[in-house]
């Protein structure tokens, strides 16, 4: 109740401020990982392009040097602000991301897109990795469909898909990072996305993809089960005379992990009592434990005299399979210190996030406020989360409050000042009897070309 009162009071203050003056929306609705480069955005305008009779090739990139200060050594185990801190570290410099991207597009004789190719890698002090490596082909009989294949983003949710080149907060929330690590996976995607200007469905997009499932946190597929991911979304549309615009999306994820152990566990309630139920049937080897998510999101934008006000929200619930110690989707099949396959744990979860973004006097200055929660096990809470009953830190709910200021110095540089404070629920599990000191302040510079 106390948490709810704080949120409602906070919301009333920002809503009153948001609608003081009306102007024109100028920011673009792009920035999703599945999009082609948009040349109307800050980054798109500065993109280096080369044209020839064979097609167009463009180069872009960005890097994010940052300095962070944590509330305690090791940041209380907080890995959601750019990776783990060392056990004796409470401040650090990091190159969070260093991206270089090449886009190639081939057009038909009448100027319509024919094929599109993207290659992007990420280089930091921790190594170099591929982030995007996919191709896309367009059909031209109806100008309705395109097909993509390779290493690419999975079409689920809005925060997962919103590129870090555009996202105002330094990182995606705990829920997004837990369920869809690295955002990308290897597979193919079929899309309905009308391209004719007179189409009655130009506002609508439908994406359906099939992927390995483990994402880029693993080097190879570790079972034969494939994950099916789908999203129906609306492009930004005007909803009011004042120029307010709304976009939305509905996402689904139907996947799983094939068990390599005859033990499987599931969190549930029996006669109203939360338990971790053990299943030791020999037939469990080869059985698929589910990863099933359903989510809905919206983005609401109102123009102001010198910028805009934006609200974003997303809610996701479902069933997640991971391990006893973590609810994060594993990148490789979990094994013990001796190399033996570990049992899988299945839990019901839910989570959400809420953003408030407000330009301050001009589009060069922006206030960003965020609240999110992730509850990895909705069948148990509070002091009932006890190791004696089989529960662990993987069952603990976190509510995270974040906020910051973004200064857009020019089209090639922005500076972000951000503080984020997670609050864990109080449990009987060791280490979570009280709130962990895991707040992190981030000062980031974002350079792009």
Q: What is the pLDDT of residue 277?
A: 94
Q: What is the pLDDT of residue 161?
A: 96
Q: What is the pLDDT of residue 24?
A: 39
Q: Which residue has the tokens 């005859």?
A: 262
Q: What CA–CA distance (Å, rounded) separates 156 from 183?
A: 9
Residues of the chain with pLDDT under 50: 1-2, 4-28, 39-40
For the chain, helix, strand, coil in percent to 5 are: 10, 50, 40
Q: What is the pLDDT of residue 60?
A: 93
Q: Parallel, antiparallel, or unpaired for β 344-359 and 264-270?
A: parallel
Q: Specify the DSSP element, H or E, that contains 8.
A: helix 2-18
The answer to whether 406 touches 416, Cβ cutoff 8 Å, is yes
Q: What is the pLDDT of residue 37?
A: 59
* 410, two tokens: 């020019």
Total residue count of the chain as it appears in this document: 449
Q: What is the pLDDT of residue 11?
A: 44
* 256, two tokens: 């799983």
Q: What are phi and psi of 315, to 5 degrees?
A: -125, 135
Any bridge partners for residue 91, and if so which? 69
The answer to whether 439 touches 420, Cβ cutoff 8 Å, is yes
Looking at residue 77, the DSSP 8-state letter turns out to be G
Q: What is the pLDDT of residue 446?
A: 98
167-178 pLDDT, tens digit each: 999 999 999 999
Q: What CA–CA distance (Å, rounded) separates 358 from 302?
A: 10
312-329 pLDDT, tens digit each: 999 999 999 999 999 999
Alpha helices in 181-328, H assignment, sequence order? none
Q: What CA–CA distance (Å, rounded) separates 242 from 260?
A: 58
Q: What CA–CA distance (Å, rounded) separates 167 from 308?
A: 16
**Cα 74 off chain centre by:** 24
Q: What is the pLDDT of residue 242?
A: 85
Q: What is the pLDDT of residue 241?
A: 86
């Amino acid at each position: 109740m106390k948490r709810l009162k704080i949120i409602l009071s906070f919301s009333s203050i920002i809503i009153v401020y948001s609608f003081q003056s009306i102007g024109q929306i100028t920011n673009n609705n792009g920035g999703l990982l599945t999009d082609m480069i948009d040349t109307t955005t800050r980054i798109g305008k500065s993109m280096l392009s080369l044209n020839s009779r064979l097609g167009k090739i463009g180069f872009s990139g960005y890097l994010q040097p940052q300095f962070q200060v944590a509330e305690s050594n090791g940041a209380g185990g907080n890995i959601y602000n750019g990776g783990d801190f060392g056990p004796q570290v409470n401040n650090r410099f990091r190159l969070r991301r260093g991206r270089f991207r090449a886009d190639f597009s081939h057009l038909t004789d009448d100027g319509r897109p024919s094929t599109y190719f993207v290659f992007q890698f990420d280089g930091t002090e921790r190594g170099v990795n591929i982030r995007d490596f996919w191709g896309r082909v367009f059909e031209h009989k109806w100008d309705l469909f395109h097909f993509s294949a390779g290493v690419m983003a999975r079409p689920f949710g809005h925060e997962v898909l919103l590129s870090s080149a555009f996202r105002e907060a330094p990182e995606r929330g705990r829920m997004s990072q837990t369920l869809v690590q690295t955002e990308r996976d290897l597979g193919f995607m079929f899309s309905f996305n009308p391209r004719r200007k007179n189409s009655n469905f130009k506002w609508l997009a439908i994406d359906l993809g099939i992927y390995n499932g483990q994402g880029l946190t693993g080097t190879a597929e570790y079972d034969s089960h494939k994950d099916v991911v789908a999203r129906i979304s609306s492009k930004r549309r005007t909803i009011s005379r004042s120029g307010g615009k709304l976009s939305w999306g509905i996402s689904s994820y139907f996947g799983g992990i094939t068990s390599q152990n005859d033990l499987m566990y599931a969190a549930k309630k029996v006669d109203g009592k939360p338990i971790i139920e053990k299943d030791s049937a020999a037939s469990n080897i080869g059985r698929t434990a589910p990863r099933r998510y359903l989510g809905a999101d919206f983005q609401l934008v109102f123009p102001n005299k010198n910028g805009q006000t934006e609200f974003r929200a997303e809610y996701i619930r479902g069933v997640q399979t991971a391990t006893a110690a973590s609810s994060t989707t594993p990148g490789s099949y979990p094994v013990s210190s001796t190399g033996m396959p570990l049992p899988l744990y299945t839990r019901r979860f839910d989570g959400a996030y809420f953003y408030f973004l407000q330009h301050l006097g001009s589009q060069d200055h922006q206030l960003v406020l965020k609240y999110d929660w992730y509850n990895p096990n909705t069948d148990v809470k509070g002091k009932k989360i006890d190791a004696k009953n089989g529960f662990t830190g993987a069952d603990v709910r976190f509510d995270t409050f974040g906020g910051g200021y973004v200064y857009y110095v020019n089209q090639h540089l922005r500076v972000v000042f951000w503080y984020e404070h997670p609050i864990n629920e109080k449990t009987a599990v060791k280490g979570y009897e009280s709130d962990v000191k895991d707040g992190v302040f981030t000062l980031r510079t974002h350079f792009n070309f």
